[in-house]
Structure 1
Amino acid sequence: MEDIALLSSRGYEVILCSSGAVSLGMKMIGLTPATAGLRDKQAAAACGMPLLLNAYKQIGHEHDLNIAQILVTLGDFGDHRRFLNTKNTLHRLIESGVLPIINENDTITTEEIRVGDNDRLAAKVAQMVQAQHLVILTGVDGLYDRNPSEPGAKLVETVHDVSQYLAVTSEVGTLGTGGMLTKMQAANMAQNAGCTTLIANGEADNPITSVLDGARPCTTCVAHAEPADSWAAWLTDRLQMDGSIVISNSAADAMATGGRGIDRDDIISICGNYVKGDVIHIYDETGTERARGMTDFSSEQTAILVRNREIPVKQLIGYHSRAVLVEIENLICLDDRHILWEPLEATATA
């Protein structure tokens, strides 16, 4: 908090992503993390939140910092309207000189509908407010070319292509739900939005300013020179896959050249259960992810449309519409800057 006050005096606008409520609340419900189930953790989060925020309030007061708490869920990032509402609240707090402290709302989330790690949550917030820097503090100096406990492991000081290091970041650390893999995923999201990520050890004096000043070792994931606009970044950088479709290779190639969306004649199979307005992942016949886009139909409606290609849309689903699953303005083709996702197993076949 002292370092954040120093940053503020330098003219930085700061948002803090911080967890810890579950750990703080465990003692109050008489359990330990090893013995606690989902309901126990949700209850512990409810107990720990006041303790965590009170600590931040008391210490913030010593440094003339006013704080506010924002609790978010996966849906606040996945639903575009809620995304914009959260963004507006953050900007209003920053304009007032208030430090927003963001955490996932662990009192209501379950494993199926949670972000799960502060790394990607912070990256989505950085994308949301179009931040210049994302600083991730962890238990090591940054990204290493192998497990840092192995002899000869070297710190990777600069990263331009995150995908080159995914193979060496699969181990999950003991200090939280995310390991170095989630930090690389977060860095990729930030890069795409024009934000530089700095990964460093959090156990240091002036942990943030010392990194920004280049006074100690860290890994710098350099922002892309030509970042995506906010709409494209929201469409492409996802925290969870809502669903996916497989389209023909010819349709995928035509889509890549621009000028067309995806209609029902392009679809080979449907994966997952999604609703209208969800962002779906789009694969070609080889299993290569080619695009992401916001769908105009649910997975159930899509299945009906592709199994009855000759029947008018209104006759099938009850209202008039073009048989276009993803309109071109809601479709972003992926390039080398994006981390691709593995396809789901098909739940419906055309």
Structure 2
Amino acid sequence: MAAVKDARRLVIKIGSALLVDRQSGALRDKWLKALAEDVARLRTRGTDVILVSSGSIALGRAALGLPSTALTLEQSQAAAAVGQIRLAGAYERALGAHDLKAAQVLVTLEDSEDRRRYLNSRATLEQLLSLGVVPIVNENDTVATDEIRYGDNDRMAAQVAVTAGADQLILLSDVDGFYSANPAQDPGARRFDVIEAITPEIEAMAGDAGSGLSKGGMKTKLMAAKTATAAGCDMVISEGSVLHPIRALEEGAACTWFLAQGDPQQKRKAWIAAMKPRGQVVVDAGAARALTSGSSLLPAGVRSVSGRFGRGDPVEVVSTDGARLGLGLTRYDAGDAGRICGLKTSEIEAALGYAARGPLIHRDDMAF
């Protein structure tokens, strides 16, 4: 059975209905402060935390005096532009009270579909977490159109969890788990404590959205669960309106856990290993030994580069005697990779004219 206390890296999704009062359109400050206390406690015990938060359009709608009825795309984008500032400021204040730094990360569907953007997003999140920052992720509603939108933050949260290599995803919802039917309409509906596999029968039980502010329903949560668990990330649906919702979950609040199908790192390695290489890098004996010990591939250990590949593309890594060592996603295109062969990291900027992006292939982006 999964438990929040076991998480090394945790993504928490927060819906508009939890963060913004439905009637007044005002931020629920007391609730946010309690959540920040939960996050601070998680960080104290060494857990990385990423928050995926709705709320910008809801906050902006109230600030601009827009109607409570459906908004046009342009109205939604204007509301998001106004609301994002308020949302980011609210998180900064709430987390800052616990000496935690917050960062705003705005994404669109394209950022996960394009490999280069995916790697950029992953690298940014990794850097922020390594610096002890709490990323606040939201869809970039100010620029995204219907064709490039996630459309709901449940699925976006799942993709963020996959991108960041999280081992747990918490969906704070207005329901306390996944039910066999809509509990508001069927008194006989039963809640599942644990779902080990998402079967066609489970999918048939999912309903539609029931909240005035939230666009997500149980169908989107199930889609999020499929994405997360397939990548090795446990997911839980829990009722989030209570103060200290994460503490309540840890203390046994009703919820439904969807169990991961494997480990996130193993899943990622398998995904990389299945790719078709677009080029090849030959490494010396010292680099080969370092790679098998779990190190990243530095340009200093590279003898030669061949093929036509861009940044983020898969390349084959071989030793000087032709032995295939593995496959990795390169941080440089073929031209730049060729120019920095054999160079120390401190020499890369002079050779390329821009600061080094670190190793040629990071160990997290390599499969052996």
* TM-score between both structures, scaled by the size of structure 2: 0.61
Is 2:268 the partner of 1:230? yes
CA contact (8 A) 2:51 2:137 kept: yes
What is aligned with 1:46? 81
What is aligned with 2:69? 34
CA contact (8 A) 2:233 2:263 kept: no
Residue 93 of structure 1 aligns to a residue whose secondary structure is helix
Q: How many Å apart are 1:230 and its aligned residue?
A: 2.1
Alignment of 1:141-156 (within 5 A): 141-149=176-184, 150-156=186-192
| CA distance in 1 between partners of 2:56 and 2:155 (Å) | 18
| Residues 35/207 of structure 1: CA separation in 2 closer, same or farther (3 Å cut) | closer
Q: 1:171 aligns with which of 170, 190, 208?
A: 208
Residue 57 of structure 1 aligns to a residue whose secondary structure is helix
What is aligned with 1:314? none
What is aligned with 1:196? 234
What is aligned with 2:161? 126
Residue 93 of structure 2 aligns to a residue whose secondary structure is helix
CA contact (8 A) 1:126 1:195 kept: yes
Range 143-152 or range 170-179, more displaced: 170-179
Q: How many Å apart are 1:60 and its aligned residue?
A: 1.2
What is aligned with 2:146? 111
Is 2:100 the partner of 1:65? yes
Alignment of 1:1-350 (within 5 A): 1-149=36-184, 150-163=186-199, 164-174=201-211, 175-211=213-249, 213-225=250-262, 229-230=267-268
Residue 126 of structure 1 aligns to a residue whose secondary structure is helix
| Residues 63/171 of structure 1: CA separation in 2 closer, same or farther (3 Å cut) | same
| Residues 158/5 of structure 1: CA separation in 2 closer, same or farther (3 Å cut) | same
| Residues 181/232 of structure 1: CA separation in 2 closer, same or farther (3 Å cut) | farther
| Residues 170/126 of structure 1: CA separation in 2 closer, same or farther (3 Å cut) | same
| CA distance in 2 between partners of 1:170 and 1:234 (Å) | 35
Residue 137 of structure 1 aligns to a residue whose secondary structure is strand
Residue 245 of structure 2 aligns to a residue whose secondary structure is coil
| CA distance in 2 between partners of 1:167 and 1:214 (Å) | 31
Q: How many Å apart are 1:127 and its aligned residue?
A: 0.8
CA contact (8 A) 2:181 2:207 kept: no
Q: How many residues align?
A: 236
| CA distance in 2 between partners of 1:158 and 1:234 (Å) | 30
| Residues 235/171 of structure 1: CA separation in 2 closer, same or farther (3 Å cut) | farther
What is aligned with 2:348? none
Range 24-33 or range 67-76, more displaced: 24-33
Deviations, residues 257-310 of structure 1 (Å, cap 9, x unaligned): xxxxxxxxxxxxxxxxxxxx9xxxxxxxxxxxxxxxxxxxxxxxxxxxxxxxxx
Residue 152 of structure 1 aligns to a residue whose secondary structure is coil
Q: How many Å apart are 1:210 and its aligned residue?
A: 3.0
Deviations, residues 37-69 of structure 1 (Å, cap 9, x unaligned): 110110110011111111111111112111000
Q: How many Å apart are 1:231 and its aligned residue?
A: 6.7
| CA distance in 2 between partners of 1:137 and 1:205 (Å) | 12
Q: How many Å apart are 1:215 and its aligned residue?
A: 1.6
Q: Which runs of 4+ in 1 moved over 4 A?
A: 231-236
| CA distance in 2 between partners of 1:225 and 1:90 (Å) | 22
Residue 17 of structure 1 aligns to a residue whose secondary structure is strand
CA contact (8 A) 2:182 2:189 kept: yes
Residue 49 of structure 2 aligns to a residue whose secondary structure is coil
Range 197-206 or range 40-49, more displaced: 197-206
Residue 39 of structure 1 aligns to a residue whose secondary structure is helix
Unaligned runs of 5+ in 2: 1-35, 275-311, 313-368
**Identity across aligned pairs (percent)?**
43
Letter in 1 for 2:129: I
CA contact (8 A) 1:25 1:46 kept: yes
CA contact (8 A) 1:67 1:99 kept: yes
What is aligned with 1:280? none
Deviations, residues 228-261 of structure 1 (Å, cap 9, x unaligned): 632766999xxxxxxxxxxxxxxxxxxxxxxxxx
CA contact (8 A) 1:42 1:106 kept: yes
| CA distance in 1 between partners of 2:242 and 2:177 (Å) | 13
Q: How many Å apart are 1:154 and its aligned residue?
A: 1.0
| CA distance in 1 between partners of 2:190 and 2:148 (Å) | 36
| CA distance in 2 between partners of 1:209 and 1:10 (Å) | 14
| CA distance in 1 between partners of 2:273 and 2:225 (Å) | 17
Letter in 1 for 2:189: A
Unaligned runs of 5+ in 1: 237-276, 278-350
Residue 116 of structure 1 aligns to a residue whose secondary structure is coil
Residue 257 of structure 2 aligns to a residue whose secondary structure is strand
Q: What is the alpha-carbon root mean square deviation over aligned residues?
A: 2.1
Q: How many Å apart are 1:162 and its aligned residue?
A: 1.6
